[in-house]
Amino acid sequence: MKLTRLTLIINGVERPVLCDPEKDSLAVAIRRLGLTGTKIGCGTGVCGACSVILNGKVVRSCTRKMKSVPEFSEILTIEGIGTPQHLHPLQQAWITYGGAQCGFCSPGFIVSSYQLLAEIPSPTREEVREWFRKNRNLCRCTGYKPLVDAVMAAARVMRGEATMKDITYDSAGEKDIYGSKRPRPTALVKVTGLADYGDDIKLKMPEGTAYLAVVISEVPHAKIISIDTSEAEKMPGVYKVMTAKDVKGSNNMASPAVIPRQKGKGITEFPVIAGKKISRRGDVVALVAADTEERARAAARKVKQNLEVLPAYMTFPEAAMPNAIQLHESLPNFYMEQPVFKGRDTVEVFEEAAVVAEGSFHSQHEPHLPLEPDVVQAYWGVDGMMTIQCKCQSIGENRDAIAMATGIPKDNIRMLLNYVGGSFGYSTSSNTFALVVTAVQNLDMPCSLTLSYEEFNHMTGKRSATFTNGRIACDKEGKILAAEYDVALDHGAYAVVAGHIFNNLVSVGFHGYNIPNFKALARGGSSNHAFNTAYRGFGSPQIYTCTEALIDMAAEKAGIDPWEFRYKNAARPGDLTINSRPYHDYVYPTLLEKAKPIYDKYKAEAKAAKAQGRHAGVGIGMGGFIITVGMFDSAEVALELNPDGTITHYNTWEDMGHGVDI
């Protein structure tokens, strides 16, 4: 490696920067100086997390090579904008207006907004949005409104029209935190760039840490003949190349899914490192540990996969065909089935109905796309505990799975959350955690794994897909008489959380409506798609794709406005869910009444826009979710009565980037 020494003016001071001009990006060089407020998310120039100001222009520093950064360039990073003791108005406004949720995007947005206000001191809201669009600043959490609010508030301070006090939350007079606008406690470290997310911790690990790189399968279905690691082992800096034989426990993170009417008795094995077969693109076949991440990655590229490629079933309907190969030794591809019946035989009701609407619907697999990819550290703690630092949504279940797969007793496993740059459900699965634990067991060294955004997308779980045929019947007045659906859940390569998702298909469909007669069949199982996992509202978006569409189709056929149709059929006291259970609350007519003025306003606007030849429309939908994980509903609480009569409530949370520290 050949280096150059550049002098750059970073945050107002001259600093010597040693770098490889061809390989290093500006983001990498800045972060190596300890300025880890500049984040690397996508690493490919599309998310803006790495935004800095270079000679008066916002640049995405992850794609700017050092060879194109001139000597004596002036660079401004988040650390140069303000500090916890001396916040810039933008940072204060970001805190006050809820701009920092997971906070991973916050430094990039604040840096970008700093330049915006330098160029346009009095922007309109539209100009702020356009600036973010132009500079590719993406936020996955907030929906952008709080960010625009924050820029507008900070701009007022900078123009002298308001003070810092005016844009700082004042808790005096606050009766209760609940319902207040109290900012998140962690907002301060997030807006100043001082929150250490996984990859920031990697840069701050002590000497003697091993850095990991994965070798993942590039085909979705294959038998593994052999994995040749000989060349990789000879590469410089390599400590060890691990394969399935190096996993110390069962090498299986799967436990039997709890599924009503499971077909067959086995499980879909979920290996930490695949040794016998590949069930999806993204299965790990080898893990390289080296003294630097770069060397680990260079060695990983030398691992050879000798495979017998098998036909791949990328949808569940293909995998459920009678002549399909069984994907897992001990479980049929079609392993979940649950019927539902309510009221009269629906076939008779459909025959009598004045209006029938029917269709076929597909909800697709979906990646979670947080801004931060997956990063995991693991090490033996001084107390002998295997300690894992990561994003983690299911600490209890993850410890079970890691213990089983790696052979470490559950009580010797401790999980600590790093700051979470978004998860939205994917971190409920343990595969990357068990991988890093395996490396620690083999090397007896602390280990750190940072996935590239591409590896992250291949290796982690996704939303499961559905294929549904459904129909609905109503009378001339639009009163629903019956509905049916036949839904297939494509749960991908492994059965993790399959039962939780599956159960919602047969419990929340047509939520909020009164469907007097109902019949459904849910079926599901494996494919060679990505394994599937939790994702906001798991199971319910999949089934609403069918049921809310059917409601609209029936309304149209009956010639009734979609709001009217919903209002007519909204569940009222005495009406039952599709499972013949009472609703917990009968809020649906009231909710619709509240939505009506807004709906009418938008409808009028859309009509006017259409009259001018523009495309415009209004949508309305209804739904609900079960606040539990399927058919079992339980909770535990630990309370202690203190000597002074107060009560301590022992609790924890698993932050998914929603900033739940508040």
Binding site for ligand FES (CB under 6 A): 40-43, 45-50, 60, 62, 101-105, 139-142, 371, 422, 657
If the CB atoms of residues 450 and 464 are measured against ligand FES, the closer one turns out to be 450
Whole-angstrom Cα distance, residue 167 to residue 492? 48
Most distant CA pair in the chain: distance in Å? 83
Whole-angstrom Cα distance, residue 147 to residue 132? 10
Residue 408 main-chain phi, psi, to 5 deg:
-90, 130
7 forms beta bridges with: 16
Q: Which of 214, 212, 211, 237 is nearest to 227 (CA)?
A: 214
471 forms beta bridges with: 358, 484
If the CB atoms of residues 62 and 390 are measured against ligand FES, the closer one turns out to be 62
Which residues, other chains included, contact 618 with Cβ-Cβ below 8 Å and sequence gap of 6+? Answer: 599, 602, 603, 606
Residue 658 CB, nearest approach to ligand FES (Å): 9
Task: Provide the 3-class DSSP secondary structure of residue 483.
Answer: strand
Residue 337 CB, nearest approach to ligand FES (Å): 39
If the CB atoms of residues 142 and 251 are measured against ligand FES, the closer one turns out to be 142
Whole-angstrom Cα distance, residue 123 to residue 145? 15
Residue 662 CB, nearest approach to ligand FES (Å): 14
If the CB atoms of residues 187 and 274 are measured against ligand FES, the closer one turns out to be 187
Residue 203 CB, nearest approach to ligand FES (Å): 15
Whole-angstrom Cα distance, residue 501 to residue 491? 9
Residue 146 CB, nearest approach to ligand FES (Å): 9
Residue 104 CB, nearest approach to ligand FES (Å): 5
Residue 380 CB, nearest approach to ligand FES (Å): 32
Q: Helix/strand/coil (H, E, C) string of 296-363?
A: HHHHHCCCEEEEEECCCCCCHHHHCCCCCCCCECCECCEEEEEEEEECCCHHHHHHHCCEEEEEEEEE
Rounded CA Rg of the chain = 27
If the CB atoms of residues 57 and 572 are measured against ligand FES, the closer one turns out to be 57
If the CB atoms of residues 131 and 567 are measured against ligand FES, the closer one turns out to be 131
228 forms beta bridges with: 304
Query: Number of C-alpha atoms within 13 angstroms, CB side, residue 345?
Result: 3
Question: Tokens 């499980």 sit at which residue?
Answer: 267
If the CB atoms of residues 17 and 49 are measured against ligand FES, the closer one turns out to be 49
- The CA-based angle 512-518-524, given to 5 degrees, is 90
Residue 373 CB, nearest approach to ligand FES (Å): 10
Whole-angstrom Cα distance, residue 121 to residue 151? 10
Whole-angstrom Cα distance, residue 93 to residue 151? 7
The DSSP secondary-structure symbol of 265 reads S
Residue 271 main-chain phi, psi, to 5 deg:
-75, 150
Q: Which amino acid is at 396?
A: G
Whole-angstrom Cα distance, residue 219 to residue 522? 29
If the CB atoms of residues 27 and 520 are measured against ligand FES, the closer one turns out to be 27
If the CB atoms of residues 60 and 277 are measured against ligand FES, the closer one turns out to be 60
Q: Which of 11, 13, 30 is nearest to 75 (CA)?
A: 11
Residue 51 CB, nearest approach to ligand FES (Å): 7
Residue 71 CB, nearest approach to ligand FES (Å): 23
Task: Provide the 3-class DSSP secondary structure of residue 604.
Answer: helix
If the CB atoms of residues 27 and 299 are measured against ligand FES, the closer one turns out to be 27
Task: Provide the 3-class DSSP secondary structure of residue 389.
Answer: strand
For the sheet with 465-474, list strands across it: 334-342, 517-525, 480-490, 465-474, 355-363
Q: Which of 168, 162, 166, 202 is nearest to 188 (CA)?
A: 168
Question: Tokens 């590896």 sit at which residue?
Answer: 455
Residue 137 CB, nearest approach to ligand FES (Å): 9
If the CB atoms of residues 42 and 314 are measured against ligand FES, the closer one turns out to be 42
Q: Which of 184, 316, 150, 303 is nearest to 233 (CA)?
A: 303
If the CB atoms of residues 98 and 492 are measured against ligand FES, the closer one turns out to be 98
If the CB atoms of residues 103 and 512 are measured against ligand FES, the closer one turns out to be 103
If the CB atoms of residues 55 and 230 are measured against ligand FES, the closer one turns out to be 55
Residue 186 CB, nearest approach to ligand FES (Å): 11
Residue 138 CB, nearest approach to ligand FES (Å): 7
Quick check: 95 and 187 in contact, CB under 8 A?
A: yes
Quick check: 493 and 530 in contact, CB under 8 A?
A: yes
If the CB atoms of residues 47 and 482 are measured against ligand FES, the closer one turns out to be 47
The token pair that represents 265 in the structure block:
């008795």
Whole-angstrom Cα distance, residue 90 to residue 157? 9
Residue 109 CB, nearest approach to ligand FES (Å): 7
Residue 48 CB, nearest approach to ligand FES (Å): 5
Strands 375-380 and 57-60, sheet pairing: unpaired
If the CB atoms of residues 140 and 295 are measured against ligand FES, the closer one turns out to be 140
The DSSP secondary-structure symbol of 206 reads P
Residue 45 CB, nearest approach to ligand FES (Å): 5
